[in-house]
Structure 1
Amino acid sequence: MLLETIELPTDEHYARNLIDGRWVFPAAPYEYEIRNPSNSTITAVVPLSSRFDVDRAISSARNALSGPWSDLHTRDQLLALLLHRLAEAAPELARLQSTETGLGYDDSLATIESSLRIARAILTREVLHPRPMAAGISGHVLSWGAPFSEMLLNVFPALAAGNTAVVKPSLRGPLSPVAVAFIADQLGFPAGVLNIVQGTGVDVGAALISSTALQTLHVRASESTLSRASRAGHRTHVPLRTLAGGGNAAIVYPGLEEDKFATMATEIAEAVRVHNAGGPFALHTVAVHRDVAKNAIACILGQLALFNNRAAPLPTEPLRQRAIDRVDQLVAGGGRVLLGGTIPDDIQHRMGWRLPTTVADLGEVTSKVTGLAHSCESLGPVLTVVHWNTLADLDEVFNSRHHRDGYASVWGDDSADDRTRFGVTAREQGPRSAMHSGLVPAAWTGESAHRSSEVTP
């Protein structure tokens, strides 16, 4: 059987780009070492490509638009086969993602399984309700929070809509995206449909951002990268879909029943654990109603302590320092650190860039430090808690760009099931619209299916 013959990529593939169905070296012979953030050991060597490689990939993607990929039946079969094979390979892919991110195996596997559930829902909707839009070339600049999820949830919707894709994985987390592309290639995806170009943001990322040949550009990255992409859009006129890291949240209403506090706290603790860089399933803000704030915070702290919450490490020491600098800024602005807040100084952490799970209470929505929190880049397993009283307070908390593309779990709202997994963006766009527009249903997928009604706090 064909599926049984497929293997994961080797070092030979990680060291090359996938362009026009071939694994090729970049135009210039430069390389970069990928290290395991948990112990800083070298796990792979990847190429540093240039705009010439991006141009070749775009040309390849353009040619593939008129080939077999334009046939709906062929495309749907290949995409369904890809999801089937990825599910079969989930344990191996989870170990790979753990290696490049430092995520624990169980957390890594959970993000992969959640991503696959979302991708299946996307494919089903595209098959049943295909959009009458002309296909084009979709460009993707990915982040490194959870590389498999970044790849699948960012790129898969574009492929399901009939587009071809040129993907720049994060320089810090390229192995999982390469593995997805490798499996697609082994399954017989037409040449040029999915192209992987590895490299830095200033070379490969900039080339994609400045290209006028794309139909759509998807960027999930830091604020500085998003700003560059936004400025470039005025010249390229390519629609930009921005997915800002770390925009996810949990909202706790005063109607939350006593027996639900433990469940709420457990899910929040699990999301904090995977929040090394605001990945698709991470969380960094909890808005608690003042009437239940004391109980909610106590439950969250208790769960974090109970699990000995060991968060995924950051990939470099400078990034860890930026994360702790943010905590220092929040404290200077009036926030209170309830848990963590310091870089460990022991032999266990000498070879990994870990930051203990940190909880900072920012107080009322109107406080000065709450506004400061929105202006700082969210890095590391740092959970900020804000207290709200009115619905206008929630609008104040989530009106910044930081939350524009985030999703939230809603607890205790009579108008929404506690297991509803829609959030901040969905209040305006609706989850189905968000999914079809290319936004990633980022957080809190849970085991239950998404509902079709909007959450309107």
Structure 2
Amino acid sequence: MSRKALPFDGLPVSTATRAFLAERHGLLIDGQWCPALSGATLDTYDPATEMHLATVASGGAEDVDAAVQAATRAFHGPWSQLKARQRAALLVRLARLLERDAALFTELEILDNGMPRFIAGLTVSNCVEMFDYYASAILRIEGVTTTPPPHVTADAEALTYTLREPVGVVGLIVPWNVPVSTLTLKLAPALASGCTVVVKPAEETPLSALALARLIQEAGFPDGVVNIVNGPGETAGAALSAHLLVDKISFTGSTEVGRKIVQAASGNLKKVCLELGGKSPVVVMPDADLELAGPGVSMATFFLQGQNCMAGTRIFAHASIHDELVARMKAFTGFFTLGHGLDAGNNFGPLISGPHASRVLAHVDRALAQGATLVTGGAKLDRPGHFVPPTILTDVRPDMDIFRDEVFGPVMAVHRFETEDVEEIAAMANDSVYGLSGSVWTRSLSTAHKLVSRIRSGQVSINCHGAIATNIPFGGYKQSGWGREFGREGLDAYLETKAVTARL
């Protein structure tokens, strides 16, 4: 018999968070908070208790159009008149305000998304770092001089140089798994470059975007530079992707939705940056340090309950170490404490929703029907909330659905392999439509670097997994996306290059 849920699982929540949740949240358009034109709203729930958190305005195509028009006016108006140092100062001011309100944002991420406290706190501090990083990067946006074309210099002197200019109005479509972090990694470089934005948060997790919008106003950004339109993807997201005044879309989410955005963007051939799905290979060689690999590979799969695109859910374990590795990983799952993220003692939260938990468990059931062996986990906990424990499957063949489809949950699929030939191993690792992340676990630097050079993924780590940071570019090969985020490449994605030649 499951126990009855209590608000916030009976755990303390700050006065600031309670006050924020109690408000009726509108859309931010041209510096004004307003209801959706249709009057529609959506509700957000705590996935750890299934209890109602807040009510938020739910925008449609008309609201998106108003937001895009506001962003267009701001782009050609007051925002374009600010100097680089003034934009940098605003981003630094925003970083300090987020630093001040870190406790509020940490609690909002826990309540809206279900993530454990240590992850929520880390993501908020990383957001502060991102705003600071791109504030400093503004002063490094610079063009170059180059040799003028010969037909111009045939009878006169000339000068040729390049300018870096903002793309224009950008639509930012943000997922639910790390809401404030994913928003910031798009928003910070977009603002640094001089773009204006319309943000479409995930309908499951809109709260941190709304809270950040308030800090943007407090920091002093001109009206219309940042607009927030909550709403379903099939209405608000689709309208933003297709809008002819939007110059670029940056989307993080599933490959299926990414294809729809590409089609919608074709009307005006807007630029598109996509960070999509993954089924990252984790290769554990015979000489791997299993004391390191046991917990390391486990965390590659189970970090954020497996609800992250770079999760290492496709494990290739060499036959000579397979059984010991699996035993160590099973033992490691015992260190996870499942529960509400507000309790700092819990390090494993719920999945985002009931339907998503059902989809994850359907993947497990299908794998078992196809011949996989359940080592641990595999069933929803009998308690309020959408808790699915760490799940390990062995005897998984490469042709099984569990080894090919993105599950986006805490499910590890382990395949035993025999060869030590790097070409054969790389071929197995590359047998996927995805190519976002991956890792190799070995004591041999030669083997490691040979495999890294052959694995077709945007990021491959050695004896660690998912080594991302603000200054390291991140993105995918194949159907894992287009373009890169973070680092200098993340800023370049929001800039155009203009060549200028002057006959003197």
Find the counterpart in structure 2 of residue 181 from structure 1.
213
Find the counterpart in structure 1 of residue 231 from structure 2.
199
- Aligned-residue offset at 1:284: 3.3
Q: Which runs of 5+ in 2 are unaligned?
A: 1-15, 144-163, 340-347, 461-467, 476-481, 488-504
Partner amino acid, structure 2, of 1:83:
A
- Aligned-residue offset at 1:399: 5.4
> Contact 1:265–1:296 (CA<8 Å) still a contact in 2?
no
> Contact 1:145–1:276 (CA<8 Å) still a contact in 2?
no
Partner amino acid, structure 2, of 1:77:
A
- Residues in 2 aligned to 1:414 and 1:52: alpha-carbon distance in whole angstroms: 56
Q: Would you say 1:383 and 2:417 are equivalent positions?
A: no
Matches within 5 A, 1:207-246: 207-246=239-278
Which residue of the other structure, out of 321, 329, 334, is the alignment partner of 2:371?
Answer: 334
Q: Would you say 1:317 and 2:354 are equivalent positions?
A: yes
Output the aligned Cα RMSD.
3.3
Partner amino acid, structure 2, of 1:384:
A
Aligned pair count reads 418
Find the counterpart in structure 2 of residue 3 from structure 1.
none
Find the counterpart in structure 2 of residue 60 from structure 1.
70
Find the counterpart in structure 2 of residue 98 from structure 1.
110
- Residues in 2 aligned to 1:62 and 1:392: alpha-carbon distance in whole angstroms: 52
Bigger radius of gyration among the two: 2
Find the counterpart in structure 2 of residue 29 from structure 1.
39
Which residue of the other structure, out of 175, 188, 191, is the alignment partner of 1:143?
Answer: 175
Give the structure-2-normalised TM-score: 0.73
- Residues in 2 aligned to 1:265 and 1:276: alpha-carbon distance in whole angstroms: 12
Find the counterpart in structure 2 of residue 164 from structure 1.
196
Q: When you count strand as a share of all residues, which structure comes out higher?
A: 2
Matches within 5 A, 1:57-456: 57-70=67-80, 71-118=83-130, 120-129=132-141, 132-247=164-279, 250-261=282-293, 264-265=296-297, 267-268=299-300, 272-275=302-305, 277-278=307-308, 283-308=312-337, 311-344=348-381, 346=382, 349=383, 351-361=384-394, 363=396, 367-369=398-400, 372-373=401-402, 375-387=404-416, 389=419, 390-398=422-430, 400-401=432-433, 403-404=434-435, 406-412=436-442, 414=445, 424-426=457-459, 434=474, 439-440=484-485
Q: C-alpha offsets along residues 163-187 of structure 1, whole Å, 9 cap, x if unaligned?
A: 1111110000000111122111111
- Residues in 2 aligned to 1:423 and 1:264: alpha-carbon distance in whole angstroms: 21
> Contact 2:459–2:474 (CA<8 Å) still a contact in 1?
yes
Partner amino acid, structure 2, of 1:19:
I
> Contact 1:409–1:423 (CA<8 Å) still a contact in 2?
no
Residues 178/106 of structure 1: CA separation in 2 closer, same or farther (3 Å cut): same
Higher relative contact order (CA 8 A, sep 6+): 2
Q: C-alpha offsets along residues 305-337 of structure 1, whole Å, 9 cap, x if unaligned?
A: 133456322233222111111111222233222
- Residues in 2 aligned to 1:292 and 1:191: alpha-carbon distance in whole angstroms: 59
Residues 396/239 of structure 1: CA separation in 2 closer, same or farther (3 Å cut): farther
Q: C-alpha offsets along residues 374-405 of structure 1, whole Å, 9 cap, x if unaligned?
A: 5534232222334454344335434544x33x
Give the structure-1-normalised TM-score: 0.80
> SS of the counterpart of 2:222?
coil
> Contact 1:14–1:175 (CA<8 Å) still a contact in 2?
no
- Residues in 1 aligned to 2:49 and 2:291: alpha-carbon distance in whole angstroms: 40
Mean Cα displacement is larger for which, 31-40 or 247-256? Answer: 247-256
> Contact 2:360–2:408 (CA<8 Å) still a contact in 1?
yes
Residues 384/111 of structure 1: CA separation in 2 closer, same or farther (3 Å cut): farther
> Contact 2:22–2:54 (CA<8 Å) still a contact in 1?
no
Q: Would you say 1:20 and 2:27 are equivalent positions?
A: no
Q: C-alpha offsets along residues 175-207 of structure 1, whole Å, 9 cap, x if unaligned?
A: 011112211111111111111001111210110
